[in-house]
Amino acid sequence: MRPIQGFLPTLILSGLLTSPSQAQNTPGKHPVRIEDIERITEVGSPVVSSDGNWIAYTATTIDREDDKRKTAVWIVGWDGKQNLRLTYGTESETAPQFSPDGRYLSFLSSRPGKAKGTQLWVMDHRGGEAWQFTDVKVKISSYHWSPNGKQILLLATPDEEAEKAAANPKDAPAKDAVPKPIVTDRYHFKQDGDGYLTASSRNHLYLYDTVAKKLDTLTTNANFEEFAPAWSPDGKWLAFTSNHDADPDRTVTEDLFVMEPRSGAVPKKVATTRQPSSQTLKWSPDGRMLLFLEGPEAKWNAYGVDSLASVAVAGGPVIPLTRVLDRPASSPGLAGTMLHFLAADDRRQYVYQIPIQGGSLKRLTEPGFHISDLAAGAGRVVVRASTDTSLGELYALENGRLRRLTGHNTSLVSDWDLSPVEDLQFRSRDGTDIHGIVVKPRGYVSGRKYPTVLLIHGGPNGQDSHGLQNGHSSAALDRQLLAANGYLVLSINYRGSSGRGAAFTQSIAGDWGHKEVEDLLAGVDAVIASGLADPERLGIGGWSYGGILTDYTIATDTRFKAAISGAGSANQLSMYGSDMYIVQYDNELGPPWRSPEAWMKVSYPFFKADKIRTPTLFLGGEKDFNVPIAGGEQMYQALRSLGVPTQLVVYPGETHGIQRPSYVRDRLERYLSWYNRYLKPSP
């Protein structure tokens, strides 16, 4: 690829060209600092009680002293008048649920108890001490109360060591025992966060009797794995998904099954569809239909625009419900006969609803809010929402309006002097309409050119959105932090991003680093032409596919004076068998021995590393199986060999998303230090 020169895109900048001559800093407020980000409370996992009067949820904070994140269970009334913390364990408590009668609140925790590992704990939802409810020798992934509360369905993997130790305590491994070799014969043999996958890594269904305290195994075939279990409204049936192809690791098929909730019952296949990004099954209130998400065909699986569909439990055709929307659907929730869900649409995410029988779609939330989580029950809908000036909190959705329920971060954000966020729209090299976001530097003065950082989102099928969203590592907070330190920040929803329809997302399949780079460079040209960006002080960076695109871009254009490639890769050929995307590769590019030209084409940053002039910082997690650290190591070694200023940072024990608080702080400090060294922002 060659640098794009002599091209001036059409530009639309909302608000940027009509700003006052000088933006004054707000008295009594301060710009966003790293220590402010560490004080954020992440709100999530809402669930509605059976009577609709209460919402349980989790709140995650950073414990600087222990250098870890801690999650507690909270509860808030539907009217918003009472908001209470319920758990104070030394270990995190997650996945809150109400018992069917609404009296008890359950959660998962590995806090000390009579049984080791993650177990189910229960407490009175009005408060008091929790007690350990299960003592099971499986690794619980999720749990689901039966409608009558007498049984709990567990989705879990076998814990062979715990089973052996229980049968014979002498077999329990010593604390200093040498780990056993990992042996696998699976096609898909590694997964970020889970490590190496074996036959015993597969999830199965178990049934826990809440009275007899007995665990029964429902599904046992080691070749298959179960997902997304759900009880029928009358409690007589279970639904779940699985893939019963000859080798499930090789395909994106998804079968829907129903079975009786008893050991020895034979599952009945209801339908076959395609795997979505993340599945959720819902039963219709009358128990006659299953509602679910379906993905695209195999060659588009990595660029999926998932849609909602339904099928009769008795069998019949799969009926699409939201395919006409042409936007990725997620997080479905059922309130009465209305199915609510989230859909990403051009820099925002909204709540939509549709009747379970199908019909007209209706958008329920307005552009001012970005919605990032949804729960429904008892005819009520709760969402997590944020704006450009507020962090994620829980809101009740009533008659198309949002009413705030929690305020964990309200006082924190009220002290921040946030930089304005503006929409950006321009034409790429081939005339394609591209959208993005620009964040002005703090104290922006009209007519002054600013050092600019092109901050690239991952995915690629994600998007840069409005809203501060939720979390200690969100792109929106990274943008605000850079803006607070004097940078103009540019984020582009390049082709491959979500929110603009399937054709837009799928347009880069098998052709990585081409159209995306054209779009990114055209966006840089746009802000330079507007007079906002200083062409002599341009930076670039991103994480995951954002890091990969950083490598592609600096190998294409030498204008950038500083780059940060987080969890990236450039020699894509070396990723085959090293990362977790084997099914995507075989369907999209084909195995390297069948299509070596395609693999060399998408690996051009490594094989053209001698074209790179940009000082680049490479970062990644030591145990990242998503984009292994080898991707950064190879590019670091290439630039080091070529004499280009570079540095490599490896975070011990971390996977793809850096979690340890001290490492998150380190990452942000290194971002600022690297850009400051080469871009020298104005005071």
Six-digit token pair at 203?
């999830």
**Listed residues 228, 253, 284: the one ending a domain:** 284
CA 479 to CA 641: how far, in whole Å? 32
Residue 339 lies inside a defined structural domain of this protein: no
Phi, psi angle pair for 423, to nearest 5°: -80, 150
CA 25 to CA 144: how far, in whole Å? 51
Name the residue type at position 204: H
pLDDT reported for residue 172? 62
Q: Which residues contact 339 (CB under 8 A, 6 or more apart)?
A: 282, 291, 308, 321, 332, 333, 353, 354, 355, 356
Helix axes 515-529, 545-554, angle to 10 degrees: 70
Question: Do 459 and 582 lie in a common domain?
Answer: yes
Three-class DSSP labels, 218-247: CCCCCCCCEEEEEECCCCCCEEEEECCCCC
- Find the domain containing 653 and state its range: 419-679
In the block, residue with structure tokens 């780059």: 563
How many domains is the chain partitioned into structurally? 3
Question: Do 505 and 560 lie in a common domain?
Answer: yes
Residue 399 lies inside a defined structural domain of this protein: no
Residue 22 lies inside a defined structural domain of this protein: no
CA 518 to CA 428: how far, in whole Å? 7
Radius of gyration of the chain (CA): 25
Residue 220 lies inside a defined structural domain of this protein: yes
Decide if 14 contacts 422 (C-beta within 8 A).
Answer: yes
Question: Do 155 and 121 lie in a common domain?
Answer: no
Residue 179 lies inside a defined structural domain of this protein: no
CA 394 to CA 406: how far, in whole Å? 5
Say which DSSP state 224 is in.
-
Q: Which CATH number is 532's domain given?
A: 3.40.50.1820
Question: Do 534 and 633 lie in a common domain?
Answer: yes
Question: Do 167 and 196 lie in a common domain?
Answer: yes
Six-digit token pair at 581?
């995307």
In the block, residue with structure tokens 């939802």: 125
b (16+ CB within 10 A) / e for 174-188:
eeeeeeeeeeeebeb
**Listed residues 284, 316, 334: the one ending a domain:** 284
pLDDT reported for residue 9? 39
Decide if 291 contacts 334 (C-beta within 8 A).
Answer: yes
Question: Do 523 and 590 lie in a common domain?
Answer: yes
CA 88 to CA 90: how far, in whole Å? 7
In the block, residue with structure tokens 């409810």: 133
CA 567 to CA 254: how far, in whole Å? 30
Nearest to 438 by CA among 530, 366, 545: 530
Residue 249 lies inside a defined structural domain of this protein: yes
In the block, residue with structure tokens 């921040």: 416
Residue 430 lies inside a defined structural domain of this protein: yes
Question: Do 85 and 149 lie in a common domain?
Answer: no
CA 96 to CA 263: how far, in whole Å? 27
Residue 345 lies inside a defined structural domain of this protein: no
Rounded to two decimals, the pTM is 0.93
Question: Do 190 and 97 lie in a common domain?
Answer: no
List, run by run, the mean pLDDT of 10-residue segments along the chain (683 residues): 35 42 64 95 96 97 95 96 93 96 95 88 90 95 96 92 63 76 93 92 96 94 95 97 95 96 96 94 97 92 91 95 95 94 96 95 93 95 96 95 96 95 96 97 94 96 89 85 97 97 95 98 97 97 98 98 98 96 94 96 98 98 97 98 98 96 97 95 58
Q: What is the DSSP string of 435-486?
A: EEEEEPPTT-BTT--EEEEEEE-STTT----SS--SSSS-HHHHHHHHHHTT
Strand partners, 160: none
Question: Do 107 and 151 lie in a common domain?
Answer: no
Question: Do 507 and 591 lie in a common domain?
Answer: yes
> Given phi > 0 = left and psi -120 to 50 = alpha, else beta, which region is 510?
left
Question: Do 535 and 452 lie in a common domain?
Answer: yes
Question: Do 470 and 515 lie in a common domain?
Answer: yes
First to last CA, the chain: 37
CA 53 to CA 76: how far, in whole Å? 9
